[in-house]
Amino acid sequence: MSVSEIDPAVLRITTTPFDNIGLAFSGGGYRAAAFSLGTLAYLNELQQDDVAKTPLLRNVTYMSSASGGTIATTTYALHSTVSKDFNAYYKSLVTNLVGVSLLEDVFKKLNNDAVWKARPDKKRNFINAFALAYDDLLFAGKTAASLNPTDSITHLQEVCFNTTDFYKGLLFRQAFKMQHDILPDKGFLYGNYTLHLEDGSKNKLKLADILAASSCFPAGFEPIVFPGDFLYKGLELNTVLQDVRIQLQEVKWSELDNLYGHDNVNVQKIVGSFPPPKDIEALAKALQTLPIEKTFETAFMDGGITDNQGLESIMRANERREKHETGFKPFDLMMVNDVASHYMDPYAPSVNTKYKGIKALSVITIMIICGVLICAAGYGLWHNFVHHSPRIRSKLITIFLSGFVIVPALLIMVILYIKHYISGKLKNGKGLNLTKNFSEDIVQRMFRHFDKTPVGVIIQMLTDRFTSVLTLNYDVFLKRVRQLLYQQFMDQGRNIFRLKTNHIYDLSFSNDRNRKQNDIAPAPGASMQAVAQHAFEMTTTLWFDTADQKGCTEASIIACGQFTTCYNLLEYIARMKRDTDYYNNKLDAAYRKKVEHLEAQLNTHYAQFIKDPLWLYNALIDRCSLPETQKCTMDNFPPPDEFKGLR
């Protein structure tokens, strides 16, 4: 679509497309962190001019991220406040992405009682062990105050490290301004309109805990509990609770109990001071003047749950700029760097099986058999003790028969425990409690019928449910949310030449058909595609181990971030120049010269990437003094078998 074809009333156009850049980085574990690092490294390689040789990275004023992408953004944001030396940042993150030392530190902390005594409010679990390791290895104990506007040299104006609140299930923006804003910007919150935190406590949060909140993805980690897991000596509970702001939703007693405590007489006084019929808005405002109860807890979990691409935050940031809520200028270019995709493997149903042996038995049959074994073995023990003198009593028989009592008894106890857990009838009140979704009569009927179902069938049903739920959550739901957010983001009628996507799969063999249908940039070389395919197929992981280092897995993803960014910027300029009305009439001669200077570098770099996709990755090993990091060659990336004979 040409500029001339768009309604001027909705047109949002830039005449300086590379001057003010916002970046969004997706989640995806260490794969996302490595791809993000590759993107940043290439933007630092690309120079805006021949004189000052200022890296294009210096034009990035905003970063939004989720999950694994936040590993790269939090560390870069902190680094940018103290140094312009990108190589030092690159060296630090490459070193720490090889997770053997990190993982060792995580488990040492998890199993060290003294560590948890120093942070008594922090739950002893995996995500908090990672937070403590991040605190030591990545942030040296720094807090969010390090990101506050100072006389630092940072080029970043704002950063946002997204997480998801488990209070109302909303995106929670862990947002910071790193430069002074001339306007009050009332819409800028650390959190969301339902739950947010004022500056006093926000600035004392540890960067490691902020990263943990953004990156604790489901199944891999537990939720991180607020406020307890964020407290330390220097940030006390009372301070945090004074700064918590919560918007009441239903104004019901269970909500008030959670926030203010059931026995809080002030609640009774306030509620009682509003005679019926109560003015609900006035009542809510009055209640929200109360202090939050010290027992109040909620939790945060991975930002990728609600927005794995960090798109909502960058769109909201740009909207605030366009509405002049902030003194920061609207973005000229918003670039989304994404290791997720729309591709998925079809669900593979389990195969019907004729069960034999114990799997063919029903639960009730197993319990009956166990009961018979217990009775028979019990009788044998009784007979052994009663009818034999201690001299001739067989110890071997005693041990053997005892086993036939203990093992079946334990099995019965396990079955009964599982039943009570599913029905929510454990003494501590925990369990699934099916009566929340079904009546008591239906639950009892289900148990009676499942007691007669073969164990193998039950296992198969549970397996199918587990795998289908994983597919639903990690593929269907995330991909659908991704699609909807991209549709909102890619509104070309409003933001022409201001948007660009940068996907890990763009140059992969998998993406050949999609790319060739719309390609206006130079075609990738076969070597680039082999590296890109290797990077794309790498699964989400919590760390890179030594095997990944030797196999150049980390190298493939960082290199893919580098050459894919180069490709997409070339495609961006090609699309821009193809619209001659925009390029010739909206950009002045001086800016066209700047674009052409960038394009010349991009073409030079791209030709190098075609010859050797790893040239920049290997060059940075020397520049950044990384002698322990292995240089890689194309011998590490043979063409995938799945595409042999098809390309």
**Which one is predicted more confidently, 399 or 278?**
278
Mean pLDDT, residues 436-447 taken together: 74
Helices (H) and strands (E) in the chain, counts: 26, 10
What residue ranges in 150-285 does DSSP mark as E strands? Answer: 158-165, 171-177, 195-197, 224-226, 244-246
pLDDT tier at 546, thresholds 50, 70, 90? low
Question: Using CA atoms in the order 182, 14, 322, 172, what is the torsion angle rounded to 10 degrees?
Answer: -90
Most confident of 110-119, 372-381, 397-406: 110-119
* pLDDT band with cut points at 50, 70 and 90 for residue 428: low
- Helical spans, DSSP H, in 510-614: 512-518, 526-537, 546-550, 553-578, 580-585, 589-611
Q: Is 64:77 a contact under the CB 8 Å cutoff?
A: no
16, amino acid identity: T
Residue 426 is predicted with a pLDDT of 62
* Residue 10: per-residue pLDDT: 47
Mean pLDDT within 177-184: 95
User: Would you say 224 and 213 are in contact if contact means Cβ atoms under 8 Å apart?
Assistant: yes
The pLDDT, as a whole number, for residue 625 is 95
- Is pLDDT above 90 for 439? no
Task: Kindly list the distances between the CA atom of residue 307 and the CA atoms of 23, 303, 486, 505, in Å, as whole numbers in the listed order.
Answer: 15, 6, 10, 19
Ranking 138-142, 321-325, 330-334, 415-419 by mean pLDDT, the lowest is 415-419
pLDDT tens by residue, 241-262: 999 999 998 998 889 888 988 7
* pLDDT band at residue 9 under the 50/70/90 scheme: very low
Confidence of residue 225 (pLDDT cuts 50, 70, 90): very high
Q: What is the pLDDT of residue 361?
A: 85
H or E element in which residue 335 lies: strand 333-338
Single out the residue of 299, 304, 300, 338 nearest to residue 66, CA to CA.
304
Percentage of the chain beyond pLDDT 90 is: 56
Highest mean pLDDT among 93-97, 191-195, 371-375, 390-394: 191-195
Confidence of residue 2 (pLDDT cuts 50, 70, 90): low
Given the DSSP bridges, would you call strands 298-302 and 224-226 parallel, antiparallel or unpaired?
Answer: antiparallel
pLDDT at residue 494, rounded to an integer: 63
**Please, what is the Cα angle at 190 between 321 and 484, to 5 degrees?**
65
Go through the chain and tell me how many residues it has: 647
**Which range among 1-5, 372-376, 600-604 shows the weakest confidence by mean pLDDT?**
1-5
Mean pLDDT of 200-214: 97
| pTM of this structure | 0.87
Average pLDDT, the chain: 88
